[in-house]
Amino acid sequence: MPIIVRLDVMLAKRKMRSNELARAIGITQANLSLLKSDKVKGIRFSTLEAICRYLDCQPGDILEYQPDEEQPAERQAG
């Protein structure tokens, strides 16, 4: 998937453990671990907002777009 989750980088910058973040924003440690390891297909905006609020960052600090090299650069209607 071309969206890369960089939550681990932001946690390291804030010198924070993932279990602290999970408790603070009200999600399970298991769900946060799945998010950190890029094993989710989506994230609720409310969760993203809570993460950004707690870490004092922007969504772009956590999410990065890297297009797949196999896909053409053309935009597809959808």
Q: Tell me the CA distances in angstroms from 58 to 31, 33, 50, 53, 76, one per residue in order.
A: 20, 20, 11, 8, 28
56 within some domain: yes
Q: Structural domain of residue 35, as residue ranges?
A: 3-65
The residue assigned the tokens 């989750």 is 5
Quote the pTM value.
0.81
Any idea which of 6-10, 33-37, 45-49, 70-74 has the lowest mean pLDDT? Answer: 70-74
Chain segment 57-75, per-residue pLDDT in tens: 999 999 999 888 765 555 5
78 within some domain: no
Q: Measured between alpha carbons, how far apart are the two ends of the chain, in Å?
A: 17
Give the number of domains in the chain: 1
CATH label of the domain that carries residue 41 = 1.10.260.40
Q: Binning pLDDT at 50, 70 and 90, where does residue 39 land?
A: confident
